Structure 1
């Protein structure tokens, strides 16, 4: 595999790119990671405990997420490879590659843990299903969704995940229209500030649950699968006309990708903000809202069973969609770094085990969600730093390498996220 990958190395896979609307989709699938049960728990708790104080954190996290997801998508479009594949070819030392894979795999499993538990809790709230059985059901449904991806390809899988995203949006935002937030409070929440250590911890939790390593790995793979270039094409294969056609194709794909990421982040950001505003307007000061079960009970008491049911349905869709995308990311991590591809469904069974064991041991679901976010914090630097570095290199992206301003913004966002995740780890581990 050649070390240098540039736009002229790619073949002309389409002489006439499809309509721009048809190019949308990968970011919406990756964006499901921003609506997983960990996000729900963090935003609900922030609103219930601190009202509108952390509105600015949700918005800032969404802006940073836009840049990070776009860089990931661009890597897949231009190189025709996912981030794990690029790293797998660059990490020549076998043990370095395996070590990187191990941390990425642990992060993917921690993500899966939160999502399976979220689905199990939702089934328990809706149908009083025992948590362990709910975990099995969530895992089984996710396997069905992955079968769609295996047999029908990327596009049908995207349609299913986007449909689940629509359910998530309705489920979590419906309550905001029933009991609207205070406009003055929302505006006040746009001013960056904290109130004590607890608010810092929650801010770090919100950002930790927002920027997830597996979403970065998955997005580059999703764009590659949909319309990435072929990295195995040699420069000798490209004529001047072919190079011009490919340049035009990539330019159009990147324009569509920016729209795709923008739409996905607007949806994800609106839903996360809606969850926080729902809690701030209706659950402020209510006891027990630091858990998903407690938040559901408080919504039932304060806004009625209909809004609470919408919330539980949204949580269930969140668990099902996000765990499917997480399993997809985990398979890509293994393939890209270890050059081993095992059946996606078989891998799904293996990653279910930790979540089912925790549910079987009757570990507090909320505690498990918090601990999963701590594990995710460890993985943030390993995904962000290589992503920003690779997309800034001309030998990787050729003419499509980041401009100086983009690279600087990526470095600032990465440094801030790493610092806040480090703060989250310190606060959780020290009990501050």
Structure 2
């Protein structure tokens, strides 16, 4: 009787121990670029675009699960699999576009951290960008010295902080339930809302999150599985895949809830307010409407978002280089090098919000290069064996990939045509 009771508990404990990678990857869904888009959507259109975030989150669950499954079953990341299959010229070209995407990601995160420090302490943007970079170095040092589990713990803690920071305002000014329900009905209101919806939905799945999640899932496996041909571990792999599904759903439901909270907070408190098309303006409006405490909590959430996102982005860039070029640069060295372009752009005096918009446009170019190979590879019988995508999953995956790619093309067209 004792054994019968203990075994399920042991099973649950092992399941819990496998959770974590998706919470790190989910940081990409609550980065400063998302903050700007969500606040703008709520301020301009109220609850109209809630459905966009719900749809985006559903798509993200599938995409991130496929990325994690690839890492679990093959013991390799998406960049590693592509690096093994592509000829050298193609590998180099693919790496160039992936690095451009990683640089755009880093730019957005550093800017977000710099804006948060300016809002909290009046720190000049350039100095704030440097401080953000230094703190991200310390976070990455945890991964280098204490291992991935400790790194996951730090990033997950930051995720908790930004969740509190971005959601705190709802306790002071609850949203309108009827408005939220109405916002679940898919509809738009003119060309500008189309552009904003395309930006929110098309840029939800970040390329670096797809690349990184497969590596995080690979490295989070039990030591007996990591780095080998895990297809032979017939009993362990299904258990890890089951844990991966739970991990992805929990993490992205949390990230999606934070995004929706930001939109409805803006919808309830910022409609028609002038100057809310920038993060600084939205923060000032939130603080003026809900009080300085909520304003401070929001800025703290933005800071946690920037710090966590830039650390995760640097980690993703290192995995991309290692997988495609078979060159592993020390993570801290890479962090220093990739920080320089972001600081240089901050020094030009260009509007930080405009730089955030440009970074999101650049990220749009990288979506097809990550999505299409992922969907093709996770259906490959030779690569994933019995764990390859079922027909229904594959149809859904191609549909999601098609929608995301089409929306990013629409976003690019509308951006340049405006």
Question: What's the TM-score once normalised by structure 1's chain length?
Answer: 0.92
Q: Is the 8 A contact 1:77 1:224 kept in 2?
A: yes
Is 1:31 the counterpart of 2:26? The answer is yes
Counterpart of 2:298 in structure 1 is: 311
Which of these residues, 390, 404, 409, is aligned with residue 403 of structure 1? 390
Q: Is the 8 A contact 1:28 1:261 kept in 2?
A: yes
Deviations 1:369-402 (A, max 9, x none): 0000000000000000000000011111011000
Query: Aligned in 2, Cα 1:171/1:234: closer, same or farther, shift over 3 Å?
Result: closer
Counterpart of 2:356 in structure 1 is: 369
Which of these residues, 28, 31, 44, is aligned with residue 49 of structure 1? 44
Counterpart of 1:211 in structure 2 is: 205
Which of these residues, 114, 136, 143, is aligned with residue 137 of structure 2? 143
Counterpart of 2:342 in structure 1 is: 355
Q: What is the CA–CA distance in structure 2 between the aligned matches of 1:337 and 1:18, rounded to whole Å?
A: 35
Q: Is the 8 A contact 2:208 2:316 kept in 1?
A: yes
Q: Is the 8 A contact 1:208 1:376 kept in 2?
A: no
Query: Aligned in 2, Cα 1:233/1:77: closer, same or farther, shift over 3 Å?
Result: closer
Q: Which moved more, 1:124-133 or 1:301-310?
A: 301-310
Q: What is the CA–CA distance in structure 1 between the aligned matches of 2:230 and 2:98, rounded to whole Å?
A: 31
Deviations 1:23-74 (A, max 9, x none): 1100001111111000000000000001011000000000000000000000
| C-alpha RMSD of the superposition | 1.4
Counterpart of 2:275 in structure 1 is: 288
Which of these residues, 246, 250, 272, is aligned with residue 263 of structure 1? 250
Q: What is the CA–CA distance in structure 2 between the aligned matches of 1:301 and 1:88, rounded to whole Å?
A: 52
SS at match of 2:271: coil
Question: What's the TM-score once normalised by structure 2's chain length?
Answer: 0.95
Q: What is the CA–CA distance in structure 2 between the aligned matches of 1:149 and 1:311, rounded to whole Å?
A: 27
Counterpart of 1:274 in structure 2 is: 261
Deviations 1:335-389 (A, max 9, x none): 0001111111111111111110111111100000000000000000000000000
Q: What is the CA–CA distance in structure 1 between the aligned matches of 2:186 and 2:142, rounded to whole Å?
A: 43
- State the 4+ residue runs in structure 1 displaced beyond 6 angstroms: none
Query: Aligned in 2, Cα 1:230/1:268: closer, same or farther, shift over 3 Å?
Result: closer
Q: What is the CA–CA distance in structure 1 between the aligned matches of 2:103 and 2:91, rounded to whole Å?
A: 18
Counterpart of 2:68 in structure 1 is: 73
Aligned residue pairs total 406
Counterpart of 2:237 in structure 1 is: 250
Provide structure 1 residue ranges, at least 5 long, that are not aligned to the other structure.
1-15, 236-242
Provide structure 2 residue ranges, at least 5 long, that are not aligned to the other structure.
1-10
Cα shift at 1:205: 1.3
Q: What is the CA–CA distance in structure 2 between the aligned matches of 1:74 and 1:233, rounded to whole Å?
A: 14
Which of these residues, 305, 313, 316, is aligned with residue 329 of structure 1? 316
Q: What is the CA–CA distance in structure 2 between the aligned matches of 1:144 and 1:282, rounded to whole Å?
A: 36
SS at match of 2:234: helix
Deviations 1:100-144 (A, max 9, x none): 000011001100000000000000000000000000000000000
